[in-house]
């Protein structure tokens, strides 16, 4: 192993439309995501954002650099 790096990332979403856009572009976050399938949960999230402020998500990423001997 040559290098190993870890990053903890924070994303703030200020409206549910941004969440939908993100989930459509970063398809591995919620496999099979569709607005139709998650409509009720998206509606709840919208209410939460309006009442409490931005939705904050965290992700952890790793970069592994390795070579063969």
Q: Residue 55 domain-assigned?
A: yes
Q: Residue 38 domain-assigned?
A: yes
Adjacent-strand bridge partners of 64: 4
Q: Is the pLDDT of residue 42 over 90?
A: yes
Q: Residue 69 domain-assigned?
A: no
Total domain count for the chain? 1
Higher pLDDT, 1 or 13: 13
Give the residue numbers spanning the domain of 46: 3-64
- Per-residue pLDDT band for 53 (boundaries 50, 70, 90) equals very high
pLDDT tens per residue, range 3-24: 999 999 999 999 999 999 999 9
pLDDT value at position 69?
87
Q: Where are the beta strands (DSSP E) in 1-69?
A: 3-13, 55-65
pLDDT tens per residue, range 20-38: 999 999 999 999 999 999 9
* Cα 45 to Cα 38: distance, rounded to the nearest angstrom: 10
Q: Residue 58 domain-assigned?
A: yes
């Amino acid at each position: 192993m040559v290098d190993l790096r870890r990053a903890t990332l924070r994303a703030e979403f200020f409206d549910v439309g941004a969440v939908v856009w993100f989930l459509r572009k970063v398809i591995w976050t919620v496999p099979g995501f569709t607005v139709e399938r998650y409509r009720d949960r998206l509606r709840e999230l919208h209410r939460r954002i309006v009442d409490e402020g931005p939705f904050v998500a965290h992700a952890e990423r790793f970069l592994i650099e390795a070579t063969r001997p």
